[in-house]
Each structure stands twice: as C-alpha cells, then as structure tokens.
Structure 1
Amino acid sequence: MPDPLLAHPGPVQTWERQPSSLLARHEQGLTQIDAVAPDILRVRFCPSGEPRPRRGWDPTLELPATELGVSGDDDALHLFVDRLVARLDCANGTLAFAIPDGNEFAEDLAPPGWRAVTLGETALGQTPDTELPPGPARIGLFLSKRMSPDERYFGLGQRPGRLDRRHRRFTNWTVDISSPGHCRGDDNMYQAHPVFLAVRPRLAWGLFLNSPWYSTFDVGASDPNALTLFTLGGELDYYLFAGPTPAAVVDQLTRVTGRPALPPLWALGYHQSRWSYASDAEVHAIAQTFRERDIPLDAIHLDIDYMDGYRVFTWDPQRFPAPTETVAALHARGVRAVTIVDPGVKKDLTSGYRVAEDGLREMHFIREPQGEPFSGWVWPGESLFPDFCRTDTRRWWGDQHAALLDAGVDGIWCDMNEPAIVDRAFGAPGEQARPIPLAARHGDAGEAQQAETHNLYGTLMARAAAEGFARQRPDRRPWVLTRSGFLGVQRWAASWMGDNRSCWEDLETSLPQLASMGLCGSVHVGVDIGGFYGDCFAELFARWMEVGTFYPFMRNHTQCGSRPQEPWAFGPQIEALTRAAIRLRYRLLPYLYTLAHLAHHRGEPLLRPLLYDFPDAADLHQIEDQLMVGPQLMIAPIYRPGVRRRLVELPPATWYDFRTGMRIAEQDAMIAAAPLGALPVFVRGGAILTLGNVRRSTIEPLTELTIEAYPDPDAAGEWTLIEDDGEGLDYRNGGLAERHFEIASLRSGATLTIAARAGGYRPPPRRLTVRVHLPDEPADLRLDGHAHIAWRWSATDQAAEITFDDDGDTHRIEIIP
C-alpha cells in the first residue's frame, strides 16, 4: 500500500546542464545526476534542495568527471554517457535506465519519497536511545524500483543466508551478533554492504546505496515485483552501474569504492590462531611444533592475552616480558606475528597509561551529546573509544602502533570494532549491549552524529592502522585484518567473518558468504577454519581444512575453553590430511598471488560464485556450493558428515580433474568421488596453472615453478604469471616480473607459447617444469628467444623431457598423457 504520509518531489520546474551533471529542481527538492564514468551514474535526491557536503571520511573516491549528454522535451529529460542512458520523467521525477542497445532496467515504480520516521520503525534493537536524534537522522527516504521476473539479486555483503537475495529484507547496521555463530535467521552482522548485483539473461547491473546511515533493502519480500530502498539521513544517494556482466559491475563498484590492497605474499600463507596463546613460551612451542611436524606456517596471531590487563598497545610483563625477542624468534623460524588491537582504551588515569591520558587531553575520544567522553565496558573494563572520523585521531591512533611495530610485529588484527560494547564488566549479572548514543558527536568539528558514522567505525579504524603502519614502515606493505567494515574497507584491510561455530552449518554458510563478499569488493576474506565457538571434531576439521585451502585468507582460530584445534590435535590421520591441504595451499601460491594482483588492479575476486564467470548460464546462478577460484579452478566442497561423493554441475566448458589431470567427458553434471582429504577440484579447459614447490613458509624462496597447461578442444587459453618481491612497494614502479603463456586449442595442435619475462623484477633462479595434459594429439612448445621445440606423444612413448637454460633458471618440459 502507498504510504499516504510520504512527500514527493513533484514536477520538474527548472533544469540546468553542467559538463558532467544535471541539476533538476522540482516543486520540492533537487535531483542531481552526475556522470561518474562512461558506465556509472550517480543519482542524488535532496528534499532540502541542497546536496550534503562531502565528508572527509567518505567511503567513495573522487573520479575524474565524464561528460554527460542531456536532451529534453516537455515530458522527459534524456541523459547519456557512452554505456548508460537514463530518462527523468519531468512530471513526477521517476527515473529509468538502459544500456545503449535499449535493454531497460532499474525503473522507478514511483518517485522518491520522504517523511519523518521514528526509532520504532527501524531495527536498531541494541541502541539504548529512546528516539532518533534531531535532524537528518529523523528523515527517511524511500525509493521503489521494478524487479524483472527473470532477475536474481546477489551481493549485500556479509550475510549468513542464501546467495540469491530475492524475497528477503536486509538492514545495514554493523553489530556484534550474539547468536553465537552465523545463524541463517540473522540479518545484520559485523559488516555493512548496501550494494547489490542484479543478473538476468544478457544483462547484469548494480546499485550502491551511498549511505552510511541505517538503511534497508526489501528485495521483493513485501511485494514480489518491487525492490524498495530506505535510508535515514535526509538524502537519497546511489550509484548505478551499467554492467553488462557481473565482472563489469564489480569493476565499476571498486572503481568507486577503491581497489583491494595488495597483501604481502606471507598473508596468503597459512595462519594459526587461538584465543589465546597466552605466553611467549606457548607461542614458541606452537611455532616449533609446526616445524617439527613439517607443516607449513606463515603467521601466528596473538589474541588479547598478550596485553597488560587488556590495555591496547601494551605487552604483559610476565607472560611476554621480551616481545622483541619473541617476535625475532618467530622470524627465525620463518613465522610472522600478528597482534590483535581493540578500539576500547582502558579508562586508566592513575598508572601512567599514556594512551588514555594523551587521548583525553587531546580530545581523541567520542563524546556524548552533552560533551563528556563516552565510556562503555569491554575487555579492559570501563573504556573510551577513539573518534576515527577525526583526521588527527586517525593519525594519533596509527602512531600508537609503534609499540607493536617496533617489536617487529608484522600485521595488525582489528577486532571488536563495530564497536562491540556492554554496560558493565563482561560476565557480570545483567550484562547487556550498550552502543554509543546515536546523537554522540564525531568529526573534526563535531559535524556528524553516531547515527551517520556508526557503520564506518570499523573501516576507519582499519584505515588508521594501515596508514600508521605505512608511515612507520614506508618500504613495506601494511597488512591489517578487520572484523567490521563498510564498502571500501578493502582499500585498507582483509576481513574475516567473525565468530562462527564449529558446526557443519557454518562450514556450509562460509561458501555463499565469502562469494558474496567478493562481489562487494572485499576479496581478501576468510572464516575461522574449524569454527570459533565450541569444540571441533575430526571429520569436520578435515573437511573445513580442505575448503579453507582455497579461502583467500586461510586462518585456523578458536575460542578459549574449546578443545585444541591445531592441525595435530585430532590424531595422525587428520594431521596427515591437514598437512596435505596446507601444502597444496603453498603449491597454489603463485596462482593465488597473481589473482591478488588482478584484484588490486581491477577488483576481480579471488573466490567467486559461478555466475561471475558464467553469466549466460542462468541455471547455475543460484548454485552456491561450487565456487570458482580465479578463472581457472572450480571447487565442489563437502559440507555434510559422512558424505564421500557428491553431484557436481559442470558449467559450459571443458573440465579436467585437478588431482588426476584427466579430461572429463563432456556432460552437464557428474558424480565426483570425495574421500576424506580429497576435495573435488576441477580445472577449466584452456587453463595454464602456475604452481610452486612446498615451502615451510614464504620466507623461503620459490625454487620450483610448475606450469600445468590444460588445452581446450576448440578454444585457446592464456595466463600471465605476476611476481614481485612479495612485501615491498617497488611493484608500484615497475618492480614486477610478468610472464605470459598461451596454449592453442587441441584442434590447432595445442601449441604452448611461453613469452620472455617482462618487468623490472627478477625472481631468484628456480627450476621450471612445464606439463601439458594431452590425449593422443600433437603438441608444440615455443619459447621467445629460444629454439623451437616440438614433440609428438604416442601411447608407447615415455614423457618427453627437455632441459634448457633461461636467465639462470633450469627448465624441464614434460608432456603428460
């Protein structure tokens, strides 16, 4: 039913074209449409008639303006950029969009509307407020768009439910859920991503609601034909992405919100964590046991117990009396140290705790509406909370990390940054959430309310940490991990999905959850392998390790009081399977690191749903238990107890079995064997996989590189391996090594061409093995700058082996039947 209380803009009274914008003034309010790029338009409707000024913490980037074409008549204004057109109805202010071929989408069902709203109309259930604060927080904007019957909706970030979001309602408000675990009925979680990707035959498009305020998306839940957006804040502001493919929408989104940061190579290795490894002796023992058991390891995470009374930026003098020596000992074993940092600063003004004293004196903490510093309870007791909207506060907070970085710490883990706060000591009778008041003031001049900035808190904390790291170690890439975030957090941090459970359901949930995060621009993501809450057990742990091998961020983590969850904790059989899974991760690192470079340059997710690579195969779009790892690998995890085989839908392509190298007969589906320790993995025809040797950690050099080529019967394939020094910043100035590979189709002879290495970085010498997986068909190998080498395989021949020298590398070429 239409809301009779809504105000609407009414007819366009006047309009003005600027080089990259249209300003249309209605009877009430202003519509402003900006040409952000040839395939992106930004739409703003301002009931006040004046757009809100840009904030210093705005999650979007300012892109170079694109010329906007405008023509008009009495009925409508027509707007166009190269790949997107729009029509603004002059009578009522509704908009419709189309790509140049005339395919229409995102049509308004009614003009934008607004009215005063109350706290009770929102789902802000944890707030102690009795009403919304005065001002923009009380003005709600509504917009409904037509949903095409054949359209499916994806994205909306960190959710525990199905990959396809149609028929559900979502709110965007970061919160530390208390299920515990990732229950399917939960809505809000630690991160907020008000963006979706709509996919229908021959078209994908996207919409990003550029509002950090509380907002909702009703994706056909109330009306099966209507997508309804709602936001507080007194202004409607959204970006419209033209697609026309899912990959194009993700590219467009990350052009607006920022490309993912390039992680150091070690961050893609295996991480071990627990709440908590509570002493330096325990940390040393964990690292030593990994080495003794010959299990690769790149990082150990230190949870809250390394601190002195949970005071951030301190070390406990009894349990970690010599942190520099502790970290140095880890480094000697090739292991990096990652330390947790919470935003809550203990309100300790009597013991010389400078973080609290200086922060209060310099007014770095969030203040109540009346002006006094806000305090709430977290791990250290009563605590104060930095105002990360302040430029000076972000710099001050970043500088505090010197207490950790000077000890040699390699990464920063931002936790509890929704922020999660309670009203009394943890565990005390009657304890309940006590969020920051919605009217609390933020910003350099106190220009914003908590109601506006709440969703940005985790992102701005991660930004402060990353910027502080960059100032103190200007020659190294920062690595920050965050629990909470908003769109754009990928510029500063990797993310994990918070406190899941040791159960099969949360293993299954991780698949659509991480795939959805990738569609929203956060590509370096993972979940706690084995589960955080509760006790894991052998079969579940083995299966979780299998799929965790392919998470972009691979960390094993669990809570205090749970049973041990290290790889050897479940007996020799599971230890062997876990060792093999982690070793496979290290073999995959050259491929995964290349994917990280691609993500950094164009936003391309490492882990993604089938719809990303096969947008024309509509029957595969809702499949969420098979995922692509880059463009060349597909995994089909096992997420139920006792299962030893499973149905695998095969997308339209040629497929090979990764473990056997055998080509799979052409078919739409198959039953794949999946004994424990053997996750079904498939390689796409035309793939050229770049694999490395097993290493104890990435601190050891890559001594072997294997090129596995899988020719397609009809189509050529190509791949470019990207390498750099793994940790520095020289990649920004040409310090890369890029080597391009091409494999011709089987019908064309399966010629494999290896181009000469390009770029300013020269990897250490290593042995190169090239394997071409072929049936009984001819094959050629070409190397630019070298003699042409050719062979033909037959059933009676052994695999051909040719050794040659290339820039100090010893190369060996095999043909594998």
Structure 2
Amino acid sequence: MAEANPGILQRWEHDGRAVELFFEQGRLRLSFLGEHIVRVRFTPEEAFSPRRSWDVAVPDDAFPAPSLEVSETNDTLTIDAGLLHLVLSKDGGALSCSDKEGQPFASDESAVSWDAADLIGSGLQTREGDRTPYALPEGPAQTEVRLKKQIVGQEAYYGFGQRTGLLDRRGRKITNWTMDPAWGHARHLDNMYQAHPFFMALRPGLAWGCFLHSSWYSQFDVGATTWETLEIITHGGELDYYLFYGPTPAEVVDQLTQLTGRPFMPPLWALGYHQSRWSYMDAPEMRELAREFREREIPIDVLHFDIDYMHGYRDFTWHPERFPDPAGLLADLREQGIRAVTIIDPGVKYDLHSGYPVAREGLNQRMFIETPEEIPFVGYCWPDAALFPDFAQEKVRAWWGEQHKGHLEAGVAGIWNDMNEPAIFDRPFSEGFSKQKPMPLKTPQGNEEERTTHAETHNLYGYLMSRATHEGLRHLRPEERPWVLTRSAFTGIQQWAAGWMGDNSSWWEHLEMSLPQLASMGVSGLPYVGVDIGGFFDNPSSELFARWVELGTFYPFMRTHTGAGTTRQEPWSFGPEVEEIARAAIQFRYRLLPYLYTLAHETHLTGLPIFRPLFFDFPNDPTTYHRHDQIMVGPHLLVAPIYHPGNEYRMVYLPEGSWYDFWSGKGFTGPAQLTVHAPLGRIPLFVRGGAVLPLGNVRQSTMEPLTELALHLYPAGDSAWRWVEDDGLSFAFKRGELAATTVRLSEQPGEISVCLEARQGSFQLHPRTLALHIHSAPRPTSITLDGTALDSWQWDETRRAAILSWQDDGATHDVRVGIEF
C-alpha cells in the first residue's frame, strides 16, 4: 500500500448535528455534541466502523444537537456552531478551527493520509519472532492513519495519562499501548500500564482538549519531530477523535468525563490509609499488623492481601493453611475498624484436576480467550499455565463478576486488579525470572456479532476487567458502593476503578515524579490515583520514607506498598522519629477527610480532579505551566513538598491572590516567590484566600464517628463553600440522604462576616462540636454570634485565628468579627 489522501470533495450532506463530506477516497464526518465538543471521523472506506458494545464513549445523541450554519465557497466549506467556527478545505478536507473570538486551535496542518501500518517502526511490543508485518491481523489493523495539526506559539501539552517525566509533554513522542514496563520507570520509558489517548493544550486565554477514540495502537508526536507540529497516528484504518473547546482546563475535563463517564463515588473508607506488601503471608501476620496500628495509634482503614493469600495463585481462593478461616480473620479486622482488599489477577490457573471450579466452568462455558483455531489460549503468569477471560464479551464480564461472591461473603471490602495489561511471561513463574511474552495480536476476542482481534482490544483489557469487577460487586452487594483498584486502564476507567502507577522504586526521583504523574492522571479524567508510598522496588532511607508519607497524605489514594524481598515499610519500620512523622501525617490525612470527601462528591458530579497541577486553577498564569513540583489539592490547598535528600528549604511560587501559610497562619499576597523552611514533619502547605477548609477530629478509622468538625476560614473578599456528608458507604446520597452545608465568607473594611446556611438534606449526623477558626492577621476586637456579643472565644496566636464553638445544630448562624488594622 502506498500513502494516500482523500483527494477532492465530491459532495456533502447536513443532517442535523452532523456534516458529512464525501471525497474521491473516503468520507469525513463532523458531529457536534453540544456547543463545546465536535467529533471528527475519517475513513478511507465506504462506511465507518460500527459502534462497539464496549465503547468507552457515550453515543453522540446523548448530547444536545446545536444549531449549525453551513456555507461554502469554491475552495472551502464553513460551519458555524455557536462557539465554534470550522473551515474545511475541499481539497483533502484539512480542518481549521477557531472560537468566536477568532482564536485558532487544533487546526490541521495538512489533509489526513493513510498507509500500511508500520509494525517495526512503531516499536509495538509483540512476541519474539512476530516482528514482521504478518503479526498484524488482516483488515483494519494493517492500515495506519495519520494527521498533522498546528501547534500555536508556546502552547503547553498536558495529560496523556500515565507517563514518566515532567508535566508538559511537548517535545515528546507518546505511544498508547498498555504493557508491564521494564523495571525503573525512567525518563526514556514510553509505554506504561495504562493507555489514555487524551491531551489538553493550554495557552493564556484558551484550553482545549483532544481524545483519540481508538483502542488500537496509536501515537502522538507532540512537537518531537517538528516543534510546531502535532502528529496523530493510529492503527485500525480509521481516524476518530473528539475536540473539546474548554475554554478552561476545568471545562475540558468536565467535557471529557461527560463523554467517557463521571468518576465513581468512592466509599469513605477508601480515602483513608491503606497498608500493603507483597506479601503479608498469613492470618497471624495480618492480626499482628492490626494490633500494631491500633496500639501505636496510627490510623488505618485498609489492609491489602497480595497474591500469596491464594491457594497456588488460584483466583478467588484462600490458602488453606495460611488463611484457614478468612471470614473469621476479616471479621476480627472489621471489629478493629479495618477492611480487607484482595488482589485478583486475570490469569486463571489452568487446573482441571484439583476441582478448581473457575477454570472448569470457564472452559465449559467458553469464557476464556481462544486462539484462531478455537482452542484455549494459554499463557504463563503467577500460577504458571493460565487462561484469560475474554472481557470483550458481556456474558464473560457478568460471569467474572459473579466469581467474587465467595470473597464478598467472607467480608472482603474491595478488589485489587493487577497484571491486567495483560502481563504474560515467557515461561512458568515457578521456573524463575522471566520476560514478557505478549498475547499474539491475531488472537480473536469479542462475541460472534462483533468479533475482532487482540490488536483492537489489547488496550481495553484492564479497563474491561475493572468494569466487570465493579459491575459484579454492584450486583452482588447492591446497597454498597464498589471499590476497585486497577493497574491497567484506558480512558473512561474513572467510572469503574481507582488506579495506582505500578511498580515504582524507592528513589527520590520517583517521589518527585509522582507529582506530575498523578496530576497528569487527574487531567486525563482519573481522579482517584496514587503511587506506592516508599517505593515498590529497593529500600527507602528513613528520610525518603518520611518525605514520601508527608506527600502521600495528599494523594487521592494513600497506600504504602512494597515488593517481595524488600525491607519492612510499615510506618514504625524506620525508628521512633520517622514513626512520629508518619503518625502525624496519617492523622492529618484523617483530619482532611471532610474536605477530601466533599471533593469526591464534586468529582462525582463534574469530573474535576482532586490532585491537580497548578495551572488547572490558574490557567492564565504562564508561570504555572511548568511548575511540576507544586500541586493544588482541590481549589483550596497548595502543596509544595521536599523531594531531594538533605533539604530543609525550597522555593514556593504563590499565584495571584491571597494566601495563608497553613502552619503559621501568616498571610501572603501573590504572585510571589517565597523561600520556605520545611524540616522533616512540616510539608510546605498554603491555603488560598477565601477558603472554607473543613477538618475533622483524628480518628483511628472511618468507622469511628466524626465528633468534632473545625471550619478553618481564610477571608479574602467574598467567597462560599459547600461541604457534603453522608453515610460514606451506600447510594442513599443519590436519593437526597446527605447533609450539605454552605458557608459564606465576606471580608469588608473593619469586619469579617460568616454565614452558615441551614443544613440541607435528610442525612442525620452523629452529635458533634462545631468550631470556627477565623484566620485574621490582627486579633479581633469583637465577635458576635447571631447578634449576641461573645466573650468566650479564644485566640490562637500560633495560627493567628479566633476560635469559637458550639454544638452543631445544623441551623443558620451569623458570625461577625470586628477587626482594627
């Protein structure tokens, strides 16, 4: 096949939300999904590919159809769609985009083209001996489509999911192909466990996004070959992508998650502290861990069970000697406020002789992937020879979900999906060290009506496994929110699971890398993310562990995890000094839960990330565009960790506005560069002016009730914040069984006013004390509550805050604070 392009436009049609253009070779269709999203599809064939049942995007008709005005000249076709202005060339269909102010974005540099897929040049990981064109299945897998777009000026490019390196990805080639990457996760690493073919481009005044709607192998050349050119490449014989016209970063993510699904609402316990290791080997060790946490008064909500809890690495089993009574063990843990999360891998042990029902029933019902010759595909992983479910089939996903019944009956709270890229070894695990031996790309998958090959479904394998797990938990335990953790994923995974970044190392570089890595995941639509605190490979120094747990306090998913053969990494494993630092950090995490849980509710409704880059909240400040080492946690908190050994000072950039040092209460006005002292145990933390920051009392587990709630108020003009509470476990909040309280804060010359509006919703809270901490540079001269002067308030000189409290009654209250400057 020689490179080809569409040629000259022959005719065009307008059918409501869409305009379709027919060229000498191929057809181009533009569908408008509301006023901010346009879907662009091109195929060199006579018809577009049919919609897949597993599609991660909702159908076009889920969005309203905007009014379109279409006009043409001899050379162009113009479409006005309210906020968007598009011009297409009649010679090849190159697309120029701008907004109603005339700002260009996402414009094509040239017409789309297509050619034979280049397997060798792609670097696509295949089986040894398969690196020939014949490794690609016949049909669309053998066609590669390319499109070049213009990069405007100094546009920065973010997102792209799970990556190494810094925040701005401009200047890199980025491949979308899930794999279990080589140890080290260094800067040169391209593919990792997840594939998110989405990016956000940003310049002052405009943010826009692009989601490449292709599960086939794809690549973005983001100015790596030519600085001013973005090239999109995908196998599969069709180009299909969505453009999102923000014009802010928050609106781009909102639009992406409207299309690919809003994030699931986690149970409250999942936002607590998790402890894990490969592996805690038996029930006595688990009980001893629980005892240590409780005796040392270090809060914890979850213990994770890695692969050695299984019987011979058989999914959905327990080792009969090491874990003889799983229900009894989990009940004992639950009595101490600790839940269990168990690992489940997709590789099902090929065992037909011991009475193992998962393998026998799955084979009898043809639930596993088969070769083109219709015999079970067998690959190696932890249980040696293994079978792999065909999650592209709905019946398989339902069957897989039902397999969790025994675990749930034993008291398991959540499921951890691992090795689901899928990772396959080149020899049995029992024989020692192995390399990867991926599933052949020609392997059939899907049901008879939409039969395809692994070349199309590979990137979706972890996504579909997580979906099957989530849906299974929801079916088996309908009144309780599922919680699933996954290693591999695709765009849209936020509906089904949280994610972690895989097997990192105990390196300072990986502590630093967690900042842009997790921020990029949030920008890509997945809010509940974390890395292994302390590192998975190698052994951290005591200083590194202390700094990591300080930062991990703010990860949306906070888990310490480490690999086999490493030193212990419990919070007390590094001596009394680090134990105290870890205890204080984890306790602070539990104090933050009312804030983090409110952010989770917001995320569930809007898709907004919790752990986000500085530019997200300050998109018109170019100084923030490359600040990879400072993070916003929600709209109120700015975190600037230490990530080099031996350092106790660092520079912190505060964007425009009012800011408060959380620890001292000292006020600052941005933009400003500060030198901040940060000894061990005191991470630089700043609160944005206007914030209402709800902090709870320290609890050892989220099973304990909240008995104190402190509202830290940071006046700066007029602001408001609504915090949300519910039972933390069920779906009753969807029926209005929640408690939502709005606080309005106003700063005027000589006075700060606080209005607590009456609590909304039917959820009944546990009795508690409500304390207002009103941060003010000078000590107030007077305070009134509901018009009555108060004498009983306190002044915290260290934090520069006036404190008043009462029994929380959920009623409207008005507080006035007199100030003399």
TM range (shorter): over 0.9
Residue in 2 that maps onto 1:66: 65
Q: Tell me the residue number matched to 1:608.
A: 612
* Conserved? CA contact 2:655–2:671, under 8 Å: no
Q: CA deviation at 1:75?
A: 2.5
Contact kept, 8 Å, 1:770 with 1:814, in 2: the verdict is: no
Partner of 1:749: 751
1:344-743 equivalences in 2 (<5 Å)? 344-426=347-429, 428=431, 431-445=434-448, 447-664=451-668, 668-712=672-716, 715-743=717-745
2: CA distance between counterparts of 1:275 and 1:810?
A: 51
Deviations 1:414-467 (A, max 9, x none): 000001001211263783211111011111116111000000000100000000
SS of 1:104 mapped into structure 2 = coil
One-letter code aligned to 2:197: P
> Aligned partners of 1:274, 1:804: CA distance in 2, in Å?
43
Aligned to 1:23: 20
Residues 327 and 202 (structure 1), Cα distance of their counterparts in 2 relative to 1, 3 Å cut: same
1:182 to 182, 185, 194: 185
Give a deviation string over 1:542-577, Cα, whole Å, max 9, x none: 000000000000000001110010000000000000
Alignment partners' CA distance in 2, 1:632 and 1:423: 49
Whether contact under 8 Å (1:276, 1:302) holds in the other structure is: yes
In the alignment, structure 1 residue 91 sits paired with structure 2 residue 95: no
Matches within 5 A, 1:49-128: 49-62=46-59, 63-73=62-72, 74-128=74-128
SS in 1 for 2:386: strand
1:769 counterpart (768, 771, 777): 771
Counterpart code for 2:37: I
Question: Given that residues 207 and 239 in structure 1 are in contact (C-alpha distance below 8 angstroms), is that contact kept between their aligned partners in structure 2?
Answer: yes
Bigger shift: residues 266-275 or 658-667: 658-667
Deviation at 1:813, TM superposition (A): 8.4
- The amino acid that maps onto 2:179 is V
1:16 is displaced (CA, Å) by: 0.9
Moved more, 205-214 or 431-440: 431-440
Q: Deviations over 1:579-633 (max 9, x none)?
A: 0000000000000000011111001100000110000101211100000000000
- Quote the sequence identity (%): 50
Change (3 A) 1:678 1:810: farther
- AA aligned to 2:723 is L
Q: Residues of 1 paired with 2:376 and 2:357: CA distance?
A: 17
1:781 Cα deviation (Å)? Answer: 7.4
Cα distance change of structure 1 residues 496 and 789 upon mapping to structure 2, 3 Å threshold: farther
1:336 to 331, 335, 339: 339
Change (3 A) 1:425 1:244: same
Using structure 2 for the length normalisation, give the TM-score: 0.95
Q: 2:171 aligns with which of 156, 159, 167?
A: 167
Shift of 1:373: 1.2
Distance apart, 1:168 and its partner CA:
0.7
How far, CA to CA, are the matches of 1:708 and 1:794 in structure 2? 14
C-alpha separation in 1, matches of 2:384 and 2:796:
75
Structure 1 residue 262 displacement after superposition:
0.7
Matching of residue 311 in structure 1 with residue 314 in structure 2: yes
The alpha-carbon distance between structure 1 residues 272 and 122, as it changes in their structure 2 partners (threshold 3 A), is same
Instruction: Say whether the 8 Å CA contact 2:660–2:688 is kept in structure 1.
Output: yes
Distance 2:536 2:814 in 1: 45
Instruction: State how far apart, in whole Å, the 2-side matches of 1:206 and 1:689 are.
Output: 31
Cα displacement (A) at 1:780: 8.4
Q: Give the Cα separation in 2 of the matches to 1:755 and 1:692.
A: 19
Q: Distance in 2 between matches of 1:60 and 1:544?
A: 36
- The SS at the match of 1:654 is strand
Q: Which amino acid in structure 1 is aligned with residue 632 of structure 2?
A: M
Determine the C-alpha separation between the residues in 1 that align with 2:581 and 2:697. Answer: 18
C-alpha contact (below 8 Å) 2:745/2:754 kept by paired residues: yes
**1:126 CA displacement:** 3.9
Total equivalences in the alignment: 809
Task: Please tell me whether the aligned partners of residues 767 and 812 of structure 1 are also in contact (alpha carbons under 8 angstroms).
Answer: no
Residue by residue, what CA displacement relative to the aligned partner does 1:83-109 show, whole Å, maximum 9, x if unpaired? 222211222201011111111111101
Q: 1:582 to 1:746 in 2, by over 3 A?
A: farther
Q: 1:237 aligns with which of 240, 246, 256?
A: 240
Q: 1:172 to 1:711 in 2, by over 3 A?
A: same
| Alpha-carbon separation, structure 2, partners of 1:806 and 1:354 | 54
Q: TM-score, normalised by structure 1?
A: 0.96
Aligned partner of 1:246 in structure 2 is: 249
Q: 1:740 and 1:811 mapped to 2: Cα distance? A: 11
Q: Displacement of 1:667 after TM fit?
A: 5.5
What residue ranges of structure 1 are gaps of 5+ in the alignment? none
Aligned to 2:762: 760
Distance 1:280 1:590 in 2: 33
Q: The residue matched to 1:619 in structure 2 has which SS?
A: helix
Pair 1:799–1:573, CA change in 2 (3 A) = closer
Please state how far the C-alpha of 1:520 moved relative to its aligned partner: 0.3
- 8 Å contact from structure 1 (residues 35, 67) kept in 2: yes
Which residue of 281, 288, 301 corresponds with 2:304? 301
User: Which deviates more from structure 2 when the two are superposed, residues 271-280 or residues 86-95?
Assistant: 86-95
Mapped to 2, the partners of 1:453 and 1:157 lie a distance apart of: 18
Counterpart of 1:14 in structure 2 is 11
1:662 shift after superposition: 1.8
Which residue identity does 2:809 align to in structure 1? D
Which residue, 18, 43, 49 being the options, matches 1:46? 43
Could you tell me how far apart the structure 2 residues matched to 1:635 and 1:429 are? 43
User: Whole-Å Cα distance in 1 between the matches of residues 432 and 415 of structure 2?
Assistant: 33
Q: Measure, in 1, the Cα distance between the counterparts of 2:309 and 2:596.
A: 32
After superposition, the Cα gap between the structure-2 partners of 1:439 and 1:65, relative to the gap in structure 1 and judged at 3 Å, is farther
Contact between 2:383 and 2:429, CA under 8 Å: does it hold in 1? no
Question: Is 2:288 aligned against 1:289?
Answer: no
1:814 to 1:72, Cα distance in 2 relative to 1, 3 A:
closer
Asked if 1 retains the 8 angstrom alpha-carbon contact of 2:31 and 2:40, the reply is: yes
The one-character-per-residue Cα deviations of 1:195-250 (angstroms, maximum 9, x if unpaired) are 11000121110111000000000000011110000000010000000011111111
- Listed one character per residue, the Cα deviations across residues 293-329 of structure 1 (whole Å, up to 9, x for unaligned) are 0000000000001100000000110000001001100
Does the 8 Å contact 2:378/2:385 carry over to 1? yes
- State the AA in 2 paired with 1:72: S
Q: CA deviation at 1:35?
A: 1.1
The answer for the alignment partner of 1:271 in structure 2 is: 274
Q: CA separation in 2, counterparts of 1:799 and 1:513?
A: 36
2:139 to 135, 139, 155: 135
- The letter for the 1-side match of 2:251 is A
